[in-house]
Amino acid sequence: MQVNETLKPAEVDLLYQSHHAWLRGWLRARVGCREHAADLAQDTFVRVLRARQVAPLKEPRAYLSSIARGLMIDQYRRRALERAYQESLASMPEGETPSEEHRHIILDTLERLDRALLQLKPRARQAFLLAQLDGLSIPRIALHLEVSRATVERDLAKALGVCYRLRYADA
């Protein structure tokens, strides 16, 4: 195998045969559910197939567990978003709740926004959330984060750029 080529399907198949059972067990110990672990293991190998990983893998279990860990975090974040959304729905008057289709669109948008905001440095993300969710002004955010107003303005511009790109990525 050459160093500059990606993993071939046959190599992924061998990786799957050699490490799938181990990965499923590793995941089950962490998530506590056999079915959930099996789903995450499958998703891990789907990621491997789509990855641009350069072959050969020196530490296949470390590579697989790293991907699986990321998937667990993504799933945890999605469930946290869903719980927060369900809590907000519970506080709405019954006639004003969105349809199932609209709920799906809202959750998908929230999930994509969450992933997009993860591209930002923590301070920029926090500044954006303070402005958007808490309604703080730039001077108040600067005071809260102990940075200059100009820094907050730059951070908010970066965050809004990420949101803008997210908005028009599907257009």
Do 169 and 115 meet the contact criterion of CB atoms below 8 Å apart? no
Q: Tell me the pLDDT band of 143, cut-offs 50, 70 and 90.
A: very high
Are residues 4 and 64 located together in one domain of the fold?
yes
Please check the confidence at residue 89 and state whether its pLDDT lies above 50: yes
| Average pLDDT of span 16-39 | 94
Owning domain of residue 109? 101-171
Please check the confidence at residue 23 and state whether its pLDDT lies above 90: yes
Q: Percent of the chain at pLDDT above 70? A: 92
| Average pLDDT of span 77-87 | 79
Are residues 83 and 119 located together in one domain of the fold?
no
Q: Residue 160 maps to which CATH number?
A: 1.10.10.10
**Global pTM value:** 0.58
Are residues 113 and 142 located together in one domain of the fold?
yes
Are residues 33 and 55 located together in one domain of the fold?
yes
Q: What is the mean pLDDT of the chain?
A: 85
Domain boundary among 97, 119, 151: 97
Q: Tell me the pLDDT band of 5, cut-offs 50, 70 and 90.
A: low
For residue 54, what are the β-bridge partners? 6
Per-residue pLDDT tens digits for 40-75: 999 998 888 877 666 667 889 999 999 999 888 878
Are residues 51 and 119 located together in one domain of the fold?
no
Are residues 106 and 91 located together in one domain of the fold?
no
Are residues 113 and 67 located together in one domain of the fold?
no
